[in-house]
Chain A
Amino acid sequence: MDRRTFLKYGVVGGALLVVGGSGLALWKGALTFTPRRALRVMDDLAFNVTAAAAQAVVSVPDADAAELAHRVDEQLEHTTPEARTDFLKMTRALNSPLLGLILDGRPTPFLALDVSSRAQVLRQWGRSGLEVRRQAYHSMRKLCASAYYVDKASWLGIGYPGPPNLALVETP
């Protein structure tokens, strides 16, 4: 291949990359979870990514992913403005097919994956050499898991009897 042909292919390839990259950057996947009450910190995309992550974190049939995302949203309200911003950025990075392609060879938004593929992506983040991705993994995992087990309805399944009735307890 002569220099001119190489440059021609290079220009065409570059253009394709720009178009493809832009397309990937804009592809978000379907927002299938609809907030049921006003969001405190999140936007619709962050809400959907969190709900989708919650389905992978909490694999229990009765888990209501949208409700878990609401609880995470309400928890975030107690954190610092910087932590809230980081969380929103993290949901965008997690959903980004462009970043997925570059870092993991996955050119698909998180929201377009099935539950087991989402779990796989989260595990990849948890094992990543990039500290920021491991931070994101731990943050999302803790928030979603806590959001499920805060509910009394979850306790029976793990054998937690709940708080005692102190009116019936004698002081030893």
Chain B
Amino acid sequence: MKLTGYVDGSTQPDLTLTPEVCIIGSGAGGAVAAHELVTSGREVLVVEEGGNHTRRDFHMLEGEAYPQLYQEAGQRTTKDLSIVIMQGRAVGGTTVVNWTTCFRTPPEVLDHWRVHHGVVGVDTAALDPHWAAVEERLNIHKVPEALMNRNNRLLYEGCKALGWDVDTTRRNQKGCKQSGYCGMGCPVDAKQSMLITYLPDAVNKGASVLSRCRIDRLRIERGEVVEAQGTLLDAPGLRPTGKSVSIRAKKFVLSAGSIGTPAILLRSGIENPAVGRRTFLHPVVVSVGVYDDLVLSCYGAPQSAASHQFAHRGDKVGFVLEAAPLHPVLMAACTPGLGPNHRAAMELFPRVAVHIALCIDGFHPDEPGGVVGVHASGAPYLDYRSGPRIQEAMREAQQRMAEVQFATGARSVMTLHDPVLMLNDRSEIPRLKDASFAPLDVFMVTAHVMGGCALGEDPRHAVVRSEDLRAHDVKNLHVVDGSVFPTSLGVNPQLSIYGLARLASSRMAASWARG
């Protein structure tokens, strides 16, 4: 059977499909791969566990957006519940809900992969034309200073005042109305996510997209995937409809993200010991600056400034400073305390700036990252414990963010420890030196899950080879998403995934054409 265009799996009977290429996941990796492969003349089917929602479904309401667009309705966490994991679950994947920040992979990161992880042929020269093509298609441009919202401007001006490196970021948007609701799906299609760019481009060229289809396992025989076995889900994506999917393709591409992809491989019984290991998060610690006047961090482009002043700290873990948007549910969940204390903090809502530090994990030998596993039910989990190096970086970052906020006139600065650590002026910043940053002692979050199926030439430590992201031990299986990164990146990952996906897919297409 052959599907055409967009198909809602929740309404389908049992399906047996035989596309030439089956791509599992429709986010940053899968969408770009679909476009490249269909353009090269392949018959492509994309399957996606999430629903197919459009701007007409995006009403800038957290109560609707989190269940509709996020894994576990935004409640996914690490196994010990210490880090909240914000990951998309929709046609278009996390690109539907990210904050539009775009960075190319830093050259020093690619060098590190080459030297320490045996990565070959994935360097700036190879990626440049692919990044350029994606940047053009997604209209990626630098944010003019005048368009920064107050939250980002405080970060920007604070860093400037302290003499630190800071710049405006680049965003993938066209016609942005600066609403501030990127994390709930763009209501005006200004965000150039996969939902409105590469996926429809691919569909227009003949690809099909089956939503509400969860792939449970790959059946692998004699070193080849012979079938992807899946389950169709009901319209809200909560329960199986009772209908199943069998996909028998010549080639399979796994693009289910850095938790979903290793989980499918583990459920499929793949024996490579590197699967699921070395998963990194850019674990984030938050600083809340309280100002006398309105900040309204809920409005305006959520991220438009970033400082890499502390990205390179020698033997210590580096961190990047950025801003984050704030909405009531998000604030309620991350604000510590109970009863009147929690309420008092919530009443600061209009006057707080929210600055975050992303710790750059994965670059030290004694920092192994997390491990993806699979529960008895088949649901994935991520076991990640932030160790002493990450905790040291968080402690340092918390002090630096307080400096930024006091430098821009904050009346006080709050950490998200429980109970809250409140600093009333700059002289109190050293109190943070004694604060604990152990798991569960302070609120931590991530929106950047990376690794788990590392690329590299050594099959003992890598899951896919560098050239075209083909699995070392499965001939017709490729992995194209952020799970192939051997470390974290030190920058927001979407453009790195797009570029690598385009490079790898072009190499796949060329290699398949040669037979």
**Closest B residue by C-beta to A148:** B332
Q: Looking at the complex, which of B115-123, B333-341, B353-361, B481-489 is the stretch in contact with chain A? A: B333-341
Chain A interface extent, by class: 35 or more
Check if B338 sits within 8 Å of A158, measured CB to CB: no
Chain B residues whose C-beta falls within 8 Å of the C-beta of A75 in the assembled complex? 67, 73, 75
Contact A171-B177, Cβ < 8 Å, known A75-B73, A80-B375, A142-B333: yes
From B63, B175, B342, B350, give the contact of A150 (CB < 8 A): B63
Check if A78 sits within 8 Å of B187, measured CB to CB: no
| A21 to B: closest C-beta gap in Å | 30
**Closest A residue by C-beta to B376:** A82
Check if B72 sits within 8 Å of A79, measured CB to CB: yes
A164 vs B62: C-alpha distance when bound (angstroms): 14
Interface string of B69-91 (1 = CB under 8 A from A): 00011010000110000000000
Q: Check if A105 is an interface residue, CB within 8 A of chain B.
A: no
Interface string of A138-172 (1 = CB under 8 A from B): 11011101101111001101111101101001111
From A79, A126, A163, A171, give the contact of B176 (CB < 8 A): A171
Q: Looking at the complex, which of A3-11, A42-50, A53-61 is the stretch in contact with chain B? A: A53-61
Q: Check if B343 is an interface residue, CB within 8 A of chain A.
A: yes
**Closest A residue by C-beta to B349:** A158
Contact A135-B440, Cβ < 8 Å, known A81-B375, A163-B179: yes
Check if A146 sits within 8 Å of B332, measured CB to CB: yes
Chain A residues whose C-beta falls within 8 Å of the C-beta of B72 in the assembled complex? 78-80, 83
Instruction: Name the prevailing secondary structure of the B interface residues.
Output: loop
Interface string of B189-203 (1 = CB under 8 A from A): 010000000000000
Residues of chain A from 24 to 55 with CB closer than 8 A to chain B in the complex: none
Check if B342 sits within 8 Å of A57, measured CB to CB: yes
Q: Check if B225 is an interface residue, CB within 8 A of chain A.
A: no
Interface string of A114-125 (1 = CB under 8 A from B): 000001001100
Chain A residues whose C-beta falls within 8 Å of the C-beta of B293 in the assembled complex? none
Q: Check if B1 is an interface residue, CB within 8 A of chain A.
A: no
From A80, A138, A159, give the contact of B350 (CB < 8 A): A159
- The 3 A-B residue pairs whose C-beta atoms are closest, nearest first, are A163-B60, A78-B73, A80-B379
Binding site for B on A (CB under 8 A): 56-60, 75, 77-83, 119, 122-123, 126, 131, 134-135, 138-139, 141-143, 145-146, 148-151, 154-155, 157-161, 163-164, 166, 169-172
Other contacts beyond A59-B343, A80-B377, A145-B332: 6, CB < 8 A: A82-B376, A82-B377, A138-B440, A150-B329, A151-B63, A166-B177
The contact sample of 24 A-B pairs, CB cut-off 8 A, is: A57-B339, A58-B339, A59-B339, A59-B342, A75-B73, A78-B72, A78-B238, A81-B377, A119-B339, A126-B418, A131-B440, A142-B333, A143-B75, A149-B331, A149-B332, A150-B63, A158-B346, A158-B349, A160-B328, A163-B59, A163-B61, A163-B179, A170-B177, A172-B177
